[in-house]
């Protein structure tokens, strides 16, 4: 396989950035173009719902690399640019302003877009995916206001935790019988639900949002699926994301590659980084690195949650510990370890990762 003269990476999130970095680190000396739809250089997205939202970190501190890095590595970083079409035959990509970019290898790292509710949302109903989304939400999270989160996943719970620290009253609307019941299991879901309530969250379980109504006094009313209503100053719709596959209605195959959320990494930081590195090595014809167990973390309500492995398909959960620190082991039908969730037990995560790697 010949080395491509020009590699075009569409998407300047973590996966795209890691792909570009790895190409240069492994000796690629051809033309390398990294296109980002946002106006900001690649940054750490997990901080958006936590330190950045609380005003404790700025975008400069969240940058994946120093500003000078991209020019030093001769990576042509083009920000505020959206690729709207790809021509596989001509090996070109067209941007929103009509510019044409040619490529010999194309990496699609377009990420994901937030899911929307199936009815109109008023201006006071936010989503959180980008730095600009977080800035708009941060402006409204003022002490004494009331936030309603629609959804009970990691973004919703992290924002709820941050909002409480800022003196905001929080109501969480969760469709399931407990937060994370489908992903982490009902035992952990009940434990977390109890903790949220201890911290002052008005947790509404088993209901969804059926609509919004804007009142003359500026408040927004969230209409629940059961007919009840909740008034608030701010609403956050956090019901997940869908891969941004506008450019990939086809299955990518060389010289086109995909990595990150658009390739189904599940929105996890470490998976996106690993996939970006893996694609760079594929382009250069290098040997694949050994796969590592999935890893994810979340900071919320005084807990550092660290999930190793994939709990889907677990037959049972063994829980050791209590409200402030615990380890949950997800076991298969034969007693094999499939995943583990550590809460405020960081010293044990390394050993759990090793156990999973041996079990694989």
- List the domain range (segments joined by +) for residue 305: 295-359
> Is residue 202 a part of any domain in this protein?
yes
Question: Which residues are registered as beta bridge partners of 228?
Answer: none
Residue 33 lies in a domain: yes
Residue 120 lies in a domain: no
Buried b (16+ CB within 10 A) or exposed e, 36-63: bbbebbbbbbbbbbbbbbbeebebeebb
pLDDT recorded at residue 265 = 65
Q: Are residues 222 and 261 in the same domain?
A: no
Task: Give yes or no: residues 227 and 161 share one domain.
Answer: yes
Q: Are residues 187 and 141 in the same domain?
A: yes
Are residues 51 and 17 part of one domain? yes
**pLDDT at residue number 269:** 80
Q: Is 353 a domain residue? A: yes
Number of domains in the chain: 3
- 105 and 247 in a single domain? The answer is yes
Q: Are residues 100 and 40 part of one domain? A: yes
The answer to whether residue 218 is domain-embedded is yes
Are 72 and 174 part of one and the same domain?
Answer: no
pLDDT digit string, tens, across residues 338-356: 999 999 999 999 999 888 8
- State mean pLDDT over 243-253: 89
pLDDT tens per residue, range 19-50: 999 999 999 999 999 999 999 999 999 999 99
The pLDDT of residue 291 is 82
Contacts by 55-59, CB closer than 8 A, 24 or more apart:
55/138, 59/131
246 and 107 within one domain: yes
Q: What is the mean pLDDT of residues 214-233?
A: 89
For the ranges 227-241, 262-276, 320-334, the lowest mean pLDDT is seen at 262-276
In this structure, what CATH number is given to the domain that contains residue 346?
3.30.390.30
Q: What is the CATH number of the domain that holds 153?
A: 3.50.50.60
Rounded-to-integer distance, Cα 306 and Cα 346, Å: 8
Q: Does the pLDDT at position 112 exceed 80?
A: yes
Look at residue 119 and tell me if it is in a domain. no
- Tell me: pLDDT of 264 over 80: no
Are residues 178 and 246 both part of a single domain? no
Q: What is the mean pLDDT of the chain?
A: 94
With cut-offs at 50, 70 and 90, classify the pLDDT of residue 8. Answer: very high
* Whether residue 235 is found in the same domain as residue 251: no
Rounded to whole angstroms, the Cα distance separating 34 from 9 reads: 5
Question: Is 268's pLDDT higher than 80?
Answer: no
Cα dihedral angle (294, 300, 304, 310), rounded to 10 degrees? -20
- Domain co-membership, 235 together with 248: no
3-state DSSP: the chain helix, strand, coil percent, rounded to 5? 25, 30, 45
Q: pLDDT digits over 125-149, tens only?
A: 999 999 999 999 999 999 999 999 9
Give me 93's structure tokens. 């990509």
**Per-residue pLDDT tens digits for 60-106:** 999 999 999 999 999 999 999 999 999 999 999 999 999 999 999 99
C-alpha to C-alpha distance for 76 and 294, rounded to whole angstroms:
31
Instruction: From 239, 274, 308, give the residue that closes a domain.
Output: 239
Cis upstream peptide for 255 (omega within 30°): yes
Q: How many residues in total does the chain contain? A: 360
Residue 26 lies in a domain: yes
Q: DSSP assignment, residue 43?
A: B
CB crowding 177-192: b at 16 or more within 10 Å, else e: ebbbbeebbeebbebb
Q: Are residues 247 and 234 in the same domain?
A: no
């Amino acid at each position: 396989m010949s080395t491509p003269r020009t590699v075009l990476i569409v998407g300047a999130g973590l996966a795209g950035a890691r792909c570009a970095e790895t190409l240069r680190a492994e000796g690629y000396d051809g033309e390398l173009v990294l296109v980002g739809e946002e106006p900001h250089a690649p940054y750490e997205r997990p901080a958006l719902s936590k330190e950045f939202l609380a005003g404790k970190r700025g975008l400069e501190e969240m940058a994946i690399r120093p500003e000078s890095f991209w020019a030093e590595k001769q990576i042509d970083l083009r920000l505020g640019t959206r690729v709207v079409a790809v021509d596989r035959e001509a090996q070109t990509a067209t941007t929103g302003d009509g510019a044409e970019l040619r490529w010999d290898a194309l990496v699609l790292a377009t990420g994901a877009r937030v899911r929307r509710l199936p009815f109109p949302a008023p201006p006071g109903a936010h989503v959180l995916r980008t730095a600009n989304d977080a800035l708009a939400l941060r402006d409204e999270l003022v002490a004494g206001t009331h936030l309603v989160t629609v959804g009970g996943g990691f973004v919703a719970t992290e924002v709820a935790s941050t909002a409480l620290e800022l003196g905001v009253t929080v109501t969480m609307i969760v469709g399931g019988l407990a937060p994370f019941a489908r992903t982490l299991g009902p035992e952990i879901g009940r434990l977390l639900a109890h903790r949220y309530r201890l911290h002052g969250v008005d947790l509404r379980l088993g209901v969804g949002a059926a609509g919004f109504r804007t009142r003359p006094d500026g408040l927004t009313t969230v209409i629940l699926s059961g007919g009840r209503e909740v008034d608030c100053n701010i609403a956050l719709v956090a019901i997940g994301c869908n891969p941004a596959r506008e450019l990939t209605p086809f299955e990518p195959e060389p010289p086109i590659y995909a990595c990150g959320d658009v390739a189904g990494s599940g929105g996890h930081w470490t998976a996106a980084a690993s996939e970006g590195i893996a694609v760079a090595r594929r382009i250069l014809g290098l040997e694949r690195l050994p796969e590592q167990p999935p890893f994810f973390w979340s900071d919320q309500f005084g807990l550092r949650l660290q999930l190793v492995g994939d709990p889907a398909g677990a037959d049972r959960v063994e829980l050791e510990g209590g409200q402030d620190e615990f380890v949950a082991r997800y076991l298969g039908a034969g007693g094999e370890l499939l995943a583990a969730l550590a809460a405020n037990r960081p010293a044990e995560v390394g050993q759990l990762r090793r156990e999973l790697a041996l079990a694989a």
